[in-house]
Amino acid sequence: MPPIADSILILLLLTNFFILGTANLRSAIRGVALQGLLLGVLPFFVESHATVRLVLLVIATMAIKGVVIPGLLMKALRDVHIRHEVEPYLGFVPTLFLCAAGTALALLFADHLPLAAADRTGLFVPASLATLFSGFLGLTTRRKAISQVTGYLVLENGIYVFGLLLYQSMMVEVGVLLDLLVGIFVMGIVLNHIQREFSSLDTERLSRLRE
């Protein structure tokens, strides 16, 4: 595994901490955009020789994950007129501690997975697991619907890194990318409706909808 790929993965892990640690929704979205760009260039350092397919994949990934989706989120943020604070259930410091513990556990756990010898080297599997876990943390500890979307995006990025191990079948990833885009559209619409109905994006208000 080339060292450049590992450095990019370390950057990815750092953005995880950044996304979970920032108190501003706008910078969280910027973090997600950065993650998307990082993931976008990653295939160049995995595949030894560039093919047309690879170039197209890289361009599509960077465009969708790095530009289109964050753009949509930023637009949603402007449209719904809310304060740009994250408002977590769990404080920032405990979240970061949990994220650090999760990353450490992921590194340990990856050694025990029954993987092919080629995949054992490099940071791919631990980085993927750690990103998954931070995405999950983002989903579960944040109050606002938009920060749940960012959590979901981070979770999906973790899955994407895992998928890179199987770069022969990257067509699947492209399909997932498309699903993701549609998902974000739907979430945007849902966000607007929540806003209109409850005059807030606080998901706590949604508990009124329970039986």
Partner 1 sequence: MSALLVLAGVALCMASGLPSLATRRASAATTVIIVAGGLTGLIGAVLGLTGGPTELSLPWHIPGGAVAIRIDALSAFFAAPVFLLAAAGGLYADRYWPAARTRAGYVRAFFGIMTGALALLMCAANTILFLAAWEIVAVSSFFLIATEHEQAVSRSAAWIYVAASHVATLALFAIVALLHAVTHNWAFVPLPHGTGALPIGHALLGLAFVAFGIKAGLMPFHIWLPGAHAAAPSHVSAVMSGVAIKMGVYGLVRVLSLFDAVPSAFGTTLLLAGIASSILGVAFALAQHDLKRLLAYHSIENIGIIVTGLGIGVLAQAHGQPFLALLGYAGALLHVWNHGLFKALLFLSAGAAIHGAHTREIDRMGGLARRMPWTAAAFLIGAVAITGLPPLNGFVSEWLLYVAGFTSITRTPHGGPVLLLVLVVPALALTGALALACFVKAFGAVFLGTPRSAAAADAHEVPFAMRVAMVPLILGCAAIGLVPALFAPLLSSAVHAAAPRLMTTVTLTALLQPIQMPALIVMAAGIAAVLILLAATRRAAPALTWDCGYAAPTARMQYTASSAARGLVGFFAWAMPPVIHAPQPFPLFPSAAAFESHVPDTVLDRVLLPVLRRARWVLSFARYFQHGRMQIYLVYLGVTLVVLLAWSAQ
Q: Taking CB under 8 A as the rule, does residue 208 contact partner 1? A: yes
In whole angstroms, the minimum distance from the beta carbon of 204 to partner 1 comes to 7
Q: CA angle 48-122-118, nearest 5°?
A: 65
Q: At 110, list the tokens.
A: 């990856």
Q: Which residues of 177-203 are buried (b: 16+ CB within 10 A; e: fewer)?
A: beebeebbeebbeebeebbeeeeebee
Alpha-carbon distance of 38 to 86, in angstroms, equals 24
In whole angstroms, the minimum distance from the beta carbon of 190 to partner 1 comes to 12
What values do phi and psi take at 166, rounded to 5? -105, 55
Output 48 or 207, the one with its CB closest to partner 1.
207
Output 15 or 148, the one with its CB closest to partner 1.
148
Taking CB under 8 A as the criterion, which residues in 81-110 touch partner 1? 89
Taking CB under 8 A as the criterion, which residues in 112-151 touch partner 1? 136, 139-143, 148
Q: Pick the piece of the chain touching partner 1 (CB under 8 A) from 4-12, 38-46, 185-193, 200-208.
A: 200-208
State the Rg of the chain over Cα: 17
Output 49 or 208, the one with its CB closest to partner 1.
208
CA neighbor of 32 nearest in space, from 147, 176, 190: 147
Site string for partner 1, 32-71 (x = CB under 8 A): ----------------------------------------
Residue 51 has what DSSP assignment?
-
The contact set with partner 1 (CB under 8 A) reads 89, 136, 139-143, 148, 203-204, 206-211
